Amino acid sequence: MNKPSRPAAAVRPVVNESGLAIEPVYTAADVEASGGLAMLGQPGGYPFTRGIHPLMYRKQPFTMRQYTGFANAAETNQRFKFLIANGQTGLNVAFDLATQCGIDSDDAQAVGEVGRVGMAVDTLRDFEVAFDGIDLDKITVSLTINGAAAVLIAMYLAMAEKRGFDLKTLRGTAQNDILKEFIGRGTWVYPVGPSIRLVGDTIEYCAEHAPKYSPVSVCGYHIRESGATPTQEMAWAFCIARAYADEVIKRGVPVDEFAGRLSYNFNIFGNLFEQVAKFRAGRGLWAQIMKEQYGAKEPGSMWLRMIAGGGGGGLTLEQPENNIVRGAYYALIAALSGAQTMALCCYDEAYTIPSEYAQRISLRTMQLLVEEMGLADTVDPLGGSFYVETLTNRMRDEMRGIIERTDAAGGIVKLVEQGVIQSQVSAQAYRMQRAIESGGFPKVGVNRYRSDGDESRPVEMHPYKAEDAQRQVEALRGVKASRDAVAVARALERVEADARSGANLMPAIVQAVKAYASVGEITQRLVTVFGRYREPIRFDESSAFSSLKEAA
């Protein structure tokens, strides 16, 4: 088919964040030239480009799962119940930095951070309080935790079991993606090798004991927020997921016994069409990887199940009300992309932990899409667009190329250990910030359409209360004073022994949390064996780094 000529009028060139040139007009010839419709399929059928279920939202709308958690378990429980009462259909738990790094609230390192940016959790008692009165069969819970994920997963399972829920049918998710922590956030504890071992332990353990639970949500979101392009976000997330799959398969667990419970957490800020194409392309590519590289037979093993959420990188301090509008567009992107779960950053999150008022606006935004805007009426409504199908094909090719270059440079684990990926995304983040500051990358209210008094608009700040932190410390001391010290000591000794022997650590950790051993106590025993991660700092451009620059 001959490609038609383009309009003769001179127009400004447009290149999206993934580096693809965007044409002024698209036709069927563009779709054909980019690969045609071979990877399109039907919703619910391989390769799932149009969605992993035949009827998608027509049968069941996306889960609405706002990210929340602050102060202590009691206050967080109140916010959980507020959101559920307002129609939220899932929970997404934020933990404070001390908990994320495996540090107890009474540790000197935790001073000033206890409960500041999330809920403080020290022992199983905190989980018992946080989820009191919440039906875990009706409300699924996502734990946004990584470095201390094995301990928090054990606590969640122990809490649910103690309350009488059947672990064989219990649903929920833990982020538990430590490789992206090395790349993008920094709440790591142990070196790379032992950290991957722990991820493998949780996957293996849940496959046997909690087969409906998703112990890993591979998080391209934070890689994107740290400076990755949309195609890098997806491609490197797939590289990470393969690393975890390889770890479990080498233990003798067949791919179809665990792959169906792998999930993803992706970002939604940026150009609407680029983001929608990103997810459609990613679904088909992941299905292809699981079928052709891993020999998966079950359709569920090939599904890219995802929460599309956040968009925090797109929010601005300036003119914060604009973030309400941005959030509505981000929600639209997630719905058009076929996300299973949606979470939106609130308009005030560029400043603070969101208020109830702000969280309700974001929740209502998602509800409007389903109830009033028709986003649940039909599947893949942008399917068949010349532009969207062409962009989907081109972005899939870009993702595949990034994966191939990453593998050729030594693989994602090696490149993370060496700091290569971290160096690249940091350099890209710096260039993007310079582009925003110079006006080269447009940002409404920041470098476009500024007005006098923008910085003075009031936003309600969430107060940090030192007395709440002190109550958490006192509660921890109370638990330590009342628990069976002998049982705790015995359980912690088993944790350390199993860490040294190479055994799956989850049974020992579950025993420890049931004895009310703390997050910090368990973490310290593992540090005794594994040591602590030391971040590599790179300023050079090694051959491995240079080989990846082409993927930017």
User: Selecting from 3.10.450.50, 3.40.50.720, 3.20.20.240, 3.40.50.150, what CATH number does the domain 64-449 have?
Assistant: 3.20.20.240
Could you read off the pLDDT of 309-348 as tens digits, one per residue?
888 899 999 999 999 999 999 999 999 999 999 999 999 9
When pLDDT is cut at 50, 70 and 90, the band that residue 83 belongs to is very high
Across the chain, mean pLDDT equals 94
> Can you tell me the mean pLDDT for 393-419?
97
Could you read off the pLDDT of 433-469 as tens digits, one per residue?
999 999 999 999 999 998 876 555 677 788 888 999 9
d(CA 424, CA 415): 11
AA identity, residue 521: E
d(CA 6, CA 153): 55
* pLDDT at residue 47, rounded to an integer: 98
4 pLDDT above the threshold of 60: no
**19 exposure class (CB count in 10 Å sphere: 0-12, 13-18, 19+):** middle
Q: Is 141 helix (H, G, I), strand (E, B) or coil?
A: strand
DSSP state, 43?
Answer: T
DSSP strands (E only) in 463-506 = none
Buried/exposed 218-238: b ≥16 CB within 10 Å, e otherwise: bbbbbbbbbbbbbbbbbbbbb
150: Cβ contacts below 8 Å, ≥ 6 apart: 176, 198, 201, 202, 505, 506, 509
How does DSSP assign 352-388, residue by residue?
SSPPHHHHHHHHHHHHHHHHTS-TTSSS-TTTT-HHH
Percentage of the chain beyond pLDDT 70 is: 95
> Can you tell me the mean pLDDT for 252-277?
97
Could you read off the pLDDT of 166-212 as tens digits, one per residue?
999 999 999 999 999 999 989 999 999 999 999 999 999 999 999 99
Q: Are 177 and 218 in contact (CB under 8 A)?
A: yes
The alpha carbon of residue 24 and the mean position of all alpha carbons in its chain are separated, in whole angstroms, by 34
d(CA 153, CA 158): 8
* pLDDT at residue 400, rounded to an integer: 98
